[in-house]
Amino acid sequence: MAQKAMRDIEITRATTTKLNDFSIEQFTFGKHYTDHMLEADYIDGEWTNVSIKPYQPISISPACSAIHYGQSIFEGIKAYRDKQSGKIRIFRPYDNYKRFNISAHRMQMPEVPEDLFIEGMRQLIALDEAWVPSVHDYSLYIRPFMFATDGYIGVKPSTTYKFLIILSPTGPYYSHPMRIFVEEKYVRAVEGGVGFAKNAGNYGAAMFPTAEAKKRGYDQVLWTDAKEHKYVQECGTMNVFFVFGNTAVTPGLESGTILEGVTRMSTIQLMKDMGVKVEERDLSIGEIKERHKAGELTEAFGTGTAATVLMIRELADNDDTLLFPEDKWKVGPAVKAKLDAIREGSAADTYNWMVEV
């Protein structure tokens, strides 16, 4: 039975729930979806047909321009169940919202209004509230995305788009610290390109180099800059940090080749609060190797919504293998613990990062 809610979102409830088919703790990333999804259409310059309905396939033209020319963007956000109150809170959705429209602009796609993105997400999560895990390291992964829907294979920006939000309960993205391959042949992004945008093509282009690295036994690649293959960029699906004593270094954003991660900015803030000096600057593989050899580089870790904070245990560059023994890890685990505590409600949310559903 359809009913109207705030913001004219038409809500059609699922008649049954799939939740009972699963034990939530068994969820691995990206495999299972909740009972409902949000869908909206961009037609004639306006967002319309906004609805929350049972999770279901969507119908598109075989000439759908997103499939042919790649106007397709997405975000990754997480919601947690507060340990104290049991309430559901979303981690920094306004920051992801802002980045979503930055991606949209770069890909010549329409902006999604804040109330559709945020309010739509809240209403959707409220409906599927029972799916939010209360187990440590588990959360509800929120995937908003938009793609071009014109059934036209001439190369031009689409005039119509779909915006959807789907939800997937998830545990840790990686279950172990990573072995990383330094990529010095293929590139992820160039200056003037789309590296700062969260468009689908960035991930498609990474598949082949990542598969090659996996064949060699690595979990992910560490991208280097496109001009010289000298400076580190980001790591697979994560931003990357290297810790030298009490200083953490991460590549800066000026080149436009790196995704401005929400977990990255949170990590920078938390490290500063812990008294760790943070440098956002160019960092060469040469410096990493030299300072690792000198015993100054003790930790490396990745940050991302899906991955949260994930330690690197090995970094392979040509014939050199840099090891990062666990007994030296300090800053990465401390940041993860603090971030988890804020998200799960056992530490104060000083920066108002958590948004209640």
Least separation, in Å, of the C-beta of 118 and ligand COI? 17
The residue number whose beta carbon is nearest to ligand COI equals: 76
Comparing CA positions, the residue from 130, 119, 122 lying closest to residue 86 is 130
If the CB atoms of residues 33 and 152 are measured against ligand COI, the closer one turns out to be 33
Contact 266, 92 (CB under 8 A): yes
Least separation, in Å, of the C-beta of 273 and ligand COI? 23
Furthest-apart CA atoms within the chain: distance in Å: 67
Residue 86 phi, psi dihedral angles, 5° rounding:
80, -5
DSSP output for 88-118: EEEESHHHHHHHHHHHHHHTT-PPPPHIIII
CB atoms within 10 A of CB 28: 13
If the CB atoms of residues 104 and 297 are measured against ligand COI, the closer one turns out to be 104
If the CB atoms of residues 71 and 305 are measured against ligand COI, the closer one turns out to be 305
Least separation, in Å, of the C-beta of 291 and ligand COI? 28
If the CB atoms of residues 251 and 304 are measured against ligand COI, the closer one turns out to be 304
Tally the C-alpha atoms within 13 A of residue 303's C-alpha that lie toward its C-beta.
28
If the CB atoms of residues 1 and 207 are measured against ligand COI, the closer one turns out to be 207
Least separation, in Å, of the C-beta of 156 and ligand COI? 28
Strand segments (E) across 268-347: 277-280, 297-304, 308-317, 320-323
If the CB atoms of residues 233 and 305 are measured against ligand COI, the closer one turns out to be 305
Least separation, in Å, of the C-beta of 228 and ligand COI? 26
Q: With the C-alpha atoms ordered 256, 258, 264, 268, is the resulting torsion angle positive or negative?
A: negative
- The span from the CA of 332 to the CA of 274, in Å, is 11
Residue 91 phi, psi dihedral angles, 5° rounding:
-85, 115
Q: Do the strands 354-356 and 232-235 form a parallel or antiparallel pair, or are they unpaired? A: unpaired
Residue 315 phi, psi dihedral angles, 5° rounding:
-130, 120
If the CB atoms of residues 47 and 100 are measured against ligand COI, the closer one turns out to be 100
DSSP letter (8 states) at residue 174: -
Contact 282, 232 (CB under 8 A): no
Least separation, in Å, of the C-beta of 76 and ligand COI? 2
Least separation, in Å, of the C-beta of 305 and ligand COI? 3
Least separation, in Å, of the C-beta of 72 and ligand COI? 13
Query: Where does this chain bind ligand COI (CB under 6 A)?
Result: 76, 203, 237, 304-306
- The span from the CA of 332 to the CA of 248, in Å, is 10
If the CB atoms of residues 267 and 305 are measured against ligand COI, the closer one turns out to be 305
If the CB atoms of residues 76 and 120 are measured against ligand COI, the closer one turns out to be 76
Least separation, in Å, of the C-beta of 31 and ligand COI? 12
Comparing CA positions, the residue from 304, 325, 172, 156 lying closest to residue 236 is 304
